[in-house]
Structure 1
Amino acid sequence: MLPLIAEKPISLANPSGKEPVYPDKLTRILQNGAPSLEVQLKHAWNPNDCPKDLTVKTDDPLTFHRNPIAQSTHGIRGKQGYSSGFHVWQIDWPVNQRGTTAMIGVATKEADLHMGRYRSLIGKDENSYGWDMVRNFCHHDSNHYETWKYPNDFNDWLAPSKIYCLLDMDEGTLSFAADSEYLGVAFKGLQGKTLYPIVGCVWGHCEVTMTYQGSVYEENQKGRDTEDEDSDGGFEKLKEELRHLKTNE
C-alpha cells in the first residue's frame, strides 16, 4: 500500500468564502477619476525591481514588456509599498497574453521575482499573495498551505482584460473587482506589512499596464498621503498627458 500523502493545512490568509460586500471606498475613488500623470508615475512599475528580461516601456512608463524567455517565470513590483490606507490600482492584461499562468497580487520586498519553468510565482512563499487569473486559484505560501478557489463558486469564470486591485491595509485584506462586478476578498491578515503591487508572467511579449486609481485614509491618518485627492478628471486626461509625454521625448 502506498503511504498516504498528508493534505496541506488551510492558510490563515484564506477568507473562507466571506460574502462579497461592495466597498464604499472603491466607489469614492472611482468617482474622483484617475489621478494626475505625476501621481500615476509615482505608483507605476519599478524598472529597477524586476529581472532583466522585463523592461518598463520608455514611451509608456505605466506598462512593462516581457521578452520571450522559454521555461521561465518573471515578476515585477510597483514603486510604492503600502502599510496603511485603502488603495486601488487597475491591471490591464490582455486575455490573449496570459499563457498557462498569469498572477496578480501584492508582495513584500523579499519576494522572489524569477523562477525556472512556468510556475505560480506569486504566493509560493510567505512573502507574497497572488491570484492566478488563468486557473482561478489564490496562493499564499503555497509550498506549505493549500491554495483556494477564487472567485468563489465560479469554476469557469474568465477574468477580463482590466481588473481592479483593492488593497485595504487597515482591514488587512486584498480584493479584486471588474468594471461591473466586485469579486470579494481574496486574502486576509495583511496588517503589519508593507506590500507592493506585483505580477508574475510567462507569456512571451506580454505587456501589462498598471494605473493607480487613488487611496482613502482613515481620519487619524490624514496628511500621511493625499493621492486620492489628486484627481484631474479621469482617464482621458491621463491619456492626453501620456501622448504629450511621447511627443516630447
Structure 2
Amino acid sequence: MSDLEVEQPQMQSQTPRQQQQRRRQPRCENACGDGQDKLLLTATATMSCPLVHGIDDNWTWSKRYRSKEVVLSGPNFRTVHFHPNWSKGTAGIQGKRPLNNGRYYWELHVSQRVFGTSIMFGIGTKNCRLHANAFRNMLGENEHGWGLSHKGVLWHKGVALLYTKRFRENHPTQIGVLYDGIEGTLTYYKDGKCLGVAFRGLDKVEEPLYPIVCSTAAKTEMTLKCARREFVNLQDRCRAVIMRRIRTAADLEKLKLPLPISEYLGEVIDDMEPLRQVGDYEICMMNYD
C-alpha cells in the first residue's frame, strides 16, 4: 500500500449475508439534529429515536486526548477534522463523556469523504491508542476498544466480525451509537436505521469508557450533532438482572407473564444471528451499501 491514504475507485464484489434487524425499536420522524441536516443525509428516512425520553447531553471532544493529526472546530468544538493536509497513518480522538453505568446516545454526521482503509466509530478506554503511523483498524485492535469500521465490520481484540454492508464511498452518512451500560450493550444506527446489537458484556468493563472515532482517510470530517442521556431507575436495573438468564423471545414466552411485563422485558431481547468472523481478503471484497 502507498504511504498516502488517497481515494480509490469503488469495487464491485459479492454481497455479504444480510443480518437480521432488531425488533421493537421506537420510531419517530424527528431525531436529534436540525431538519436541514437530516434532509441532507436522509431525506426520506424514518428516524429511530433512542432515549426519546432522555435529556440533552452536551459533551464534546477532548483537546487533550487526540492525535496530532486531528483538528477541532465549530460550536463547542464538536467538528473533528482528520488529517487536514494529507495522511500517512491513523488518527483518533476521545470524547469527554464517561459512559459506564448509564444510557447514552450520540449521532455523528460524516462528510462525503468516506473511503480508505478505515473510518471507525465506537468506544474505548483511556488505554486505547489514538494515533498510529500506519493505516489500520485502530479502534478494536486490542481489548481496550470496540469499533465499527466503514467497511461494515466490528473490531474488538483484533477480531473482525461481519456486521452490516460496507458504506457507500464518497457519500455523506449519519451514524448513531447507543451505549447501554445497564444491559452492557453497544448498538449502531445508520441513516436512522437500527443495525442491531454489536457488542455485549460492556457492563463488566471496570475501566472508564469514552466515545472514540478515528480515520485513516485524508480530510475526513465528522460532526457530533446530537447527544442524549437517560436516567436509569431501579426497574431498569431489575430488568437487566432478569434478562441475563433469558436470551430469546421463546424463553420469555414460557414464563407466561402478564402482557405489560412481558413486553417491557422483551424490549431488550435481540434476535440477531451470531456474527461471523471474517478475514482481510473478505473485508476487501465486501459489497457497498
CA deviations on 1:61-91 (whole Å, 9 max, x unpaired) are 1101122343210110001111112110001
Q: Higher RCO, 1 or 2 (CA under 8 Å, sep at least 6)?
A: 1
Name the structure 2 match of 1:68.
Answer: 85
Is the 1:103–1:120 Cα contact (8 Å) retained in structure 2?
yes
Q: Structure 1 residue 217 and structure 2 residue 231: aligned?
A: yes
Question: The residue matched to 2:90 in structure 1 has which SS?
Answer: strand
Name the structure 2 match of 1:148.
Answer: 161
Deviation at 1:51, TM superposition (A): 1.6
Alignment equivalent of 1:188, drawn from 200, 212, 217: 200
Name the structure 2 match of 1:78.
Answer: 95
Shift of the 117–209 alpha-carbon distance from structure 1 to 2, 3 Å rule, reads: same
The amino acid across from 1:190 in the alignment is L
Question: The residue matched to 1:49 in structure 2 has which SS?
Answer: strand
Is the 2:68–2:91 Cα contact (8 Å) retained in structure 1?
no
Deviation at 1:118, TM superposition (A): 1.0
Shift of the 192–212 alpha-carbon distance from structure 1 to 2, 3 Å rule, reads: farther
Name the structure 2 match of 1:54.
Answer: 70
Unmatched tracts of structure 2, length 5 or more: 1-18, 28-47, 237-289
Question: The residue matched to 2:61 in structure 1 has which SS?
Answer: coil
The amino acid across from 2:194 in the alignment is Y
Q: Structure 1 residue 27 and structure 2 residue 40: aligned?
A: no
Deviation at 1:220, TM superposition (A): 3.6
4+ residue segments displaced more than 6 Å: none
Shift of the 221–99 alpha-carbon distance from structure 1 to 2, 3 Å rule, reads: farther
Q: Distance in 1 between matches of 2:77 and 2:68?
A: 16
Q: Percent identical across equivalent pairs? A: 25
In the comparison of the two structures, how many residue pairs are matched?
193
Unmatched tracts of structure 1, length 5 or more: 1-16, 223-249
Q: Distance in 1 between matches of 2:65 and 2:80?
A: 12
Q: Find the structure with the greater CA-based Rg.
A: 2
The amino acid across from 2:98 in the alignment is G
The amino acid across from 1:21 in the alignment is R
Name the structure 2 match of 1:102.
Answer: 119
Name the Cα RMSD after superposition. 2.7
Shift of the 166–78 alpha-carbon distance from structure 1 to 2, 3 Å rule, reads: same
